[in-house]
Amino acid sequence: MRDLAIALPGQRRAPGNMTISEPPLASGGLDPAADTEPSGALAGARLVVKDNIDVAGYITTYGSRAYDPAPAPTSASVVTALVAAGARVVGKANLDEFAWGVTGENTHWGRIANPAHPGLTTGGSSGGTAAMIAAGLADIGLGTDTAGSIRIPAACCGVVGLRPRTGTVARDGVHPLAPSFDVVGPLACDTRLLRLAWEAMSGTSGGDRLDAPRVAAMHLPRWSPPATPAHWGPVAEIEIDRVALDAFWTVMHAESYRTHRVRYEAGAEGYGPAIRAKLATAAASVGDTAVARARLAEHRDVFARTLDAYDAVLAPALGRSIPAAGVDEASIRAELGWPSALFSALDAAVACVGGLQIVARDEATALECASQFEAALTRGAHSHAASPQADRSGS
């Protein structure tokens, strides 16, 4: 297996192991607009791409050493769309191996440093993307989200992110984990750029202005929603059953094992210990996926009726405080990630701002509410109907 430095001479990594590689200048670069004045809605925006997404000319490592590295011949459609809108690729972001993890710990490429909260985890698995934006080294980024992998690092690193619904954007050139739940979404330094990135990659234009969104918050014993924009009015409190997670994990683990089964059962050379342990657990716990899928469909129908009554539902992105860097992932994985995984199970559109999930029936509504929430944070124009609580854990 060739070393990356040999495969593409001159590769460098950003400080703190945030990226696996920067642009392959030795091959003449790969941004089609590099030698021209950028134009488009994202003109000049610096784009970092999670390294399970192909960018022409870059090696795609998937955060692993399980594959012989070679530059991708073509870019994923989502990358092409962002570059066409004027974005400039600045690197491939580090990640939990094969996008399966919540801490940004990578056996092969190093622990990702959190610029916003030194000494704490970046979250994962899109931790490198979030960290690059938090460090001011990129303006926008691409991540993937199967069970919270955009929202967890966005919350840990203090940036914004969007988990779109499954099937809303193409996934060609994106390495799968659990295809029924895998999505590609943007991260950014603010909601304006987040919206522009989403519109470019999805080919959509903005939704309607919501003058007075109907908003509810998930009832949790030790969590209160943060103060909300004054014009939202009182925030209702609703119950959302977590039982959908049981069916979700059954299907997610079965699909993840199926993705890796051939290579794993052949010895999985190049796999790190964390991914090996997860695959071993998944192999030993395969349940009845047909029954689980049917139950998931029922839970989604119930939640869809909730979104008939409200434009947005608020929930924490994290189930506990941000863990320390180097924490044993197995000891905190379920507690940290369940709030994000729940809305993957329910397949909602979710914008993450300030550690808050803003859950909606479509991406335009989630982004509109996120923009209003961010603007109110900036102005300090909050409703007195909800107040911050010191303990933000969602347990």
Residues designated as active site: 50, 125, 149
Q: Which two tokens mark 283? A: 């192999």
User: In 3-state terms, what secondary structure has residue 269?
Assistant: coil
The structure tokens 């009845």 sit at 288
Q: Are 1 and 68 in contact (CB under 8 A)?
A: yes
Q: Which two tokens mark 375? A: 């603007």
**Identity of the amino acid at 117:** H
How many other C-beta atoms can be found within 10 angstroms of the C-beta atom of residue 230? 13
**In sequence order, what DSSP letters do the residues of 36-98 get, joined into one string?**
S---STTTT-EEEEETTB--BTSB--TTSSSS---BBSS--HHHHHHHHTT-EEEEEE--SGG
Residues 6+ apart with CB under 8 A from 359: 307, 312, 313, 314, 315, 343, 348, 349, 350, 366
Say if residue 199 is exposed, middle or buried (CB neighbours under 10 Å; 0-12, 13-18, 19+).
buried
Residues 6+ apart with CB under 8 A from 33: 39, 83, 86, 88
Percent helix, percent strand, percent coil in the chain, to nearest 5: 35, 15, 50
Residue 149: name the closest of 109, 197, 116, 104 by CA.
104
Q: Are 66 and 263 in contact (CB under 8 A)?
A: yes
Q: Which two tokens mark 81? A: 């769309």
Give the C-alpha separation, 122 to 103, whole Å.
6
Dihedral sign, Cα of residue 252, residue 257, residue 258, residue 259? positive
Beta pairing partners, 382: 229
Residues 6+ apart with CB under 8 A from 140: 42, 45, 46, 47, 48, 82, 87, 133, 186, 187, 188, 189, 193, 194, 197
Number of H helices, E strands in the chain: 10, 11
